[in-house]
Amino acid sequence: MLTNSTNSSHAPIRAVIIDLDGTMLDTLPDFHVAINAMRGQFGYAPITQQQIALMIGKGSENLIRTVLALEHDAAGVEQRFDEAMALYQRHYLAINGDHSVIYDGVIDGLEAMKADRLRLACVTNKPIAFATPLLAQKGLAPYFEIVYGGDSLARKKPDPMPLLQVCTDFDLPPSQVVAIGDSSNDAEAARAAGCFVLTVPYGYNHGRAIHETDSDGIVTSLVEAATLIRSHNHNAY
């Protein structure tokens, strides 16, 4: 049964909030193409996927500032930020999803959750204008009642606001909701919201091992997550 220090509820899980980048989709190749296209227009040399993997997860604004900081001090970053953001968004939208791959077990896991009558939401720090078409392109959109991007609400993960908004939308207490993600952003948001949290080990997590993140368990796939939730619910009745 799922238990943690902030959520000791033995009530059944009714809903699941799932992250996008690094949890359902390997989107790093898309970031790589779009960022280097933007850098090329500034005359900067390309950077590697490994470098970019350490930068993603905290929203587009943080990403672009971090990329610019490779060449500039804080003042130089701010001077170029608006132009760089506009270029990046244009390049990203042009190739959104073209190089991304669904992780193993995602579809089967979502199917299992739906079969167990769990309500599903996707909460990502990716801008909603990127997230919505990407979910549709990959065939994931029909699984989710709710999708919130990093700019959908006033605050993004690791703030608990998006998760608490989903709980309100579903009319469920956080103690009956579990969040699944690949990074400390997801875990911190879930902890602050009072939700359970499961983490996957194959995402990005800012270059840190997922074992360093406070969660209620590491699951190798969404299939394993669905099985764990089913076991929790079986014991809850």
Rounded-to-integer distance, Cα 233 and Cα 237, Å? 7
Rounded-to-integer distance, Cα 85 and Cα 57, Å? 16
Active site annotation includes 26: no
Among 19, 30, 186, 216, which one carries the catalytic annotation? 19
How open is the CA angle 185-187-192, to the nearest 5 degrees?
95
**Residue showing tokens 């993603």:** 56
User: 159 among the known binding-site residues?
Assistant: no
135 in Cβ contact with 154 (< 8 Å)? no
Rounded-to-integer distance, Cα 78 and Cα 96, Å? 26
Contacts of 90 (CB under 8 A, 6+ apart): none
- Tell me how long the chain is: 237
User: 182 among the known binding-site residues?
Assistant: yes
User: 26 among the known binding-site residues?
Assistant: no
**Residue showing tokens 């930020």:** 81
Structure tokens at 169: 């939308």
DSSP H helical ranges for 121-183: 128-137, 161-170
Cite the active site residues: 19
Per the annotation, where are the binding residues for Mg(2+)? 19, 21, 182
Per the annotation, where are the binding residues? 19, 21, 182
